[in-house]
């Protein structure tokens, strides 16, 4: 064997080793950070997504629940990730509302994320405890008008879409109610069912079983169309409300600086997951509408909703310190 042949063989071996290392790295677990505890709406979305993404990517995808602080804890976990071994499933609140609510938010939606793909749009519903004695939104507003600030509404947290939705409804109706924020879907919904608070806006996926059981009364759907599971419940617009439409989308983002190749690979995996017929069935079964789009689609949604709701937040002087 000549020296040239020996060098060629050694070079080939080195390339093979590097290729093997790259493949091994690809098989390292990808963390899917979810800013809600297990059992919440985002957690359910994340678990459906993780299974399909793992098959598409050929590597494990592990759901990492990081609830609290309206998504800030989850964002900090993403920013602390080593390399690009983590992505974040976040909703419109995290990307478009928080920057307008917090005086010292420890992240910048435009600078600290790489947008990857939209996932689903969620249906929101306004519910009340049966003991409040109302069966329509108009009746609830009449009570609130007659007794300013006496009625209470729960939310998943200050600045969350469940909070801003009620701010929009009461602002449009010209009434005042008292806001009681909670840390998460379960405690806030439980507070309404137990009568500690009177009403709230909540993702339909979380409220539907309790509506069907009679523990909650559905007053209005916040999305443009009625839903098949509650055909007699009107949309907000059908009741005469012409306020801002509340977006309910979720999207996948990564840390800042992800390469275009990585984004394309992850976007393709998310698109495949949201197009899978079984996943579509599972999502729609709980009134989540699968979405498909580019990283640019997510960026435009973040900017559009930030502009619209930022103006509302400033007008209402809503701040989180």
Please tell me the predicted confidence (pLDDT) of residue 5. Answer: 46
Strands (E), 185-295: 199-203, 217-221, 249-255, 288-290
Which domains does the chain carry? 28-121+247-316 (3.40.190.150), 124-239 (3.40.190.10)
**Rounded Cα gap, residues 282 and 5, in angstroms:** 58
Question: What's this model's pTM, rounded to 2 decimal places?
Answer: 0.82
Is 80 exceeded by the pLDDT of residue 206?
Answer: yes
| Percent above pLDDT 70 for the chain | 92
Position with higher pLDDT, 179 vs 24? 179
**Rounded Cα gap, residues 272 and 79, in angstroms:** 26
- Residue 129 contacts residue 216 (beta carbons within 8 Å): yes
**Rounded Cα gap, residues 233 and 127, in angstroms:** 11
| Percent above pLDDT 90 for the chain | 74
Closest to 113 (Cα-Cα) out of 146, 76, 150, 69: 76
**Rounded Cα gap, residues 97 and 309, in angstroms:** 7
The Cβ-side half-sphere exposure at 94, using a 13 Å CA radius, reads 28
Max mean pLDDT range (15-19, 65-69, 79-83, 292-296): 292-296
**Rounded Cα gap, residues 71 and 189, in angstroms:** 19
Split at pLDDT 50, 70, 90, the class of 40 is confident
Q: Which residues contact 308 (CB under 8 A, 6 or more apart)?
A: 244
DSSP label at residue 29: P
Average pLDDT over residues 223-242: 91
| Helices 161-173/295-316 angle, 10° precision | 50
Chain segment 140-166, per-residue pLDDT in tens: 999 999 999 999 999 988 888 899 999
Please tell me the predicted confidence (pLDDT) of residue 2. Answer: 52
**Rounded Cα gap, residues 260 and 262, in angstroms:** 5
Chain segment 273-302, per-residue pLDDT in tens: 999 999 999 999 888 999 999 999 999 999
Chain segment 112-131, per-residue pLDDT in tens: 999 999 999 999 999 999 99
């Amino acid at each position: 064997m000549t020296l040239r042949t020996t060098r060629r063989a050694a070079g080939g071996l080195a390339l093979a080793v590097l290729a093997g290392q790259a493949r091994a790295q690809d098989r390292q677990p990808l963390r899917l950070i979810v800013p809600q505890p297990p059992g919440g709406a985002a957690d359910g979305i994340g678990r459906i997504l993780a299974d399909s993404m793992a098959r598409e990517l050929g590597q494990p995808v592990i759901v990492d629940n990081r609830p609290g602080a309206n998504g800030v804890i989850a964002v900090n976990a993403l920013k602390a990730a080593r390399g690009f071994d983590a992505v974040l499933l976040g909703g419109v609140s995290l990307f478009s509302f928080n920057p307008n609510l917090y005086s010292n938010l420890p992240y910048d939606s435009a600078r600290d994320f790489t947008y990857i793909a939209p996932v689903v749009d969620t249906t929101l519903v306004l519910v009340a405890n049966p003991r409040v004695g109302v069966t329509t939104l108009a009746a609830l507003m009449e009570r609130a008008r007659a007794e300013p600030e006496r009625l209470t509404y729960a939310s998943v947290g200050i600045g969350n879409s469940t909070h801003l939705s009620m701010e929009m409804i009461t602002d449009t109706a010209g009434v005042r109610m008292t806001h009681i924020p909670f840390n998460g879907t379960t405690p806030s919904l439980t507070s309404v069912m137990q009568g500690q608070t009177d009403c709230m806006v909540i993702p339909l996926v979380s409220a539907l079983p309790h509506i069907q059981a009679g523990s909650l009364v559905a007053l209005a759907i916040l999305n443009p169309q009625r839903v098949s599971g509650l055909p007699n419940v009107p949309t907000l617009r059908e009741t005469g409300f012409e306020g801002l439409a509340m977006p309910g989308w979720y999207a996948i983002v990564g840390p800042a600086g992800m390469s275009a190749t990585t984004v394309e690979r992850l976007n393709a995996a998310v698109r495949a997951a949201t197009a899978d017929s079984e996943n579509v069935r599972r999502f729609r079964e709980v009134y989540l509408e699968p979405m498909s789009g580019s990283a640019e689609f997510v960026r435009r949604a973040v900017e559009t909703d930030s502009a619209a709701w930022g103006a509302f937040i400033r007008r209402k002087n809503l701040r989180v310190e």
